[in-house]
Amino acid sequence: MLWNIPYIAVVALIVLGLYACMFKSNLVKIIIGTSLLEAGANLFLITLGYRKGGIAPIFTNAPSTESMVLPVPQALVLTSIVIGLAVTALLLSIVVMIYRHYGTIDAKKVRRLRG
């Protein structure tokens, strides 16, 4: 049961992220929701790579009797964190411009495109 705590954390993060995106009307809170979703997905990938009793997957001066955790998910997650950073930066700069034009960042009021 102890080994499943990271997976429970993943589910909790994804559910909280979706809740924030679906029910919070402040645009910045929606961006926080997407950050939570990203964190959940990245945590999921890293947790998948764990092997019991493994050490960090570094070749230099590695002790030869231990097994290592998988390095591929760590590479995938590095890429994904950078992509998430770019997306968050873009969304935040768009929210700055929306505030300048509309005067509000409530999703219920920023909806001139409807119908």
CA nearest neighbour of 38 among 57, 23, 20: 20
Please say which residue, 12 or 94, places its beta carbon nearer to another protein: 94
* Shortest CB 95 distance to another protein, Å: 7
Read off φ and ψ for residue 68, nearest 5 degrees.
-110, 155
Can you tell me which of 23, 54, 55, 71 binds another protein, judged by CB under 8 A?
Answer: 23
Residue 72 in the binding site for another protein (CB under 8 A): yes
Can you tell me which of 16, 32, 41, 69 binds another protein, judged by CB under 8 A?
Answer: 41
- # residues near another protein by CB under 8 A: 41
6-28 in b/e burial notation, b at 16+ Cβ within 10 A?
eeeebeebbebbeebbeeeeebe
DSSP state for residue 63 in the 8-state scheme: -
- Residue 101's SS3 state is helix
| Contact set with another protein (CB under 8 A) | 14, 18, 21-25, 27, 30, 34, 37-38, 41, 44-45, 48, 70, 72-73, 76, 79-80, 83, 86-87, 90-91, 94-95, 97-98, 101-102, 107-108, 110-115
